[in-house]
Amino acid sequence: MKYRLDKGNHSVYSLQFHYVACVKYRQKVLTGHIPDRLKAINLDVAKAFGVEIIEQETAIDHIHILFSSKPQIQLSKFVNSLKSVSARLIFREFPEVKKKLRKGRFWSPSYFLASTGQVTLEDLKKYVENQNA
């Protein structure tokens, strides 16, 4: 098995995640300059947390982010910061967006977050099973 490894003072780790957030009511507001600004905001938030955004892309009503994290990062705090900071700044910089969304909420309260692997789960199972050989 070959991993892309990150190192801390007392650890070696490989933690990548796939995150998806949808605009409230799946409103189609991620158009024009908004996607580029949203991506820049996300990069700033990630930098503040010490998280590396590997890739991010928007559709018209949601965003996908692939990121790498340190073990110390509380993922829920990171995700909540992504959502709150981006919503606040998008509303401030693009006031027309707020008018399109009911009750002034930018993101849906739910989101998708999955850990990603650099090997398949089946390969990892075989590796662990063979440790006693």
**Nearest Cα to Cα of residue 49 among 72, 24, 30:** 72
CB 60 within 8 A of CB 28: yes
**In the numeric block, which tokens belong to residue 17?**
């995640």
3 counts as catalytic? no
DSSP state of 50: T
The catalytic site residues sit at 127
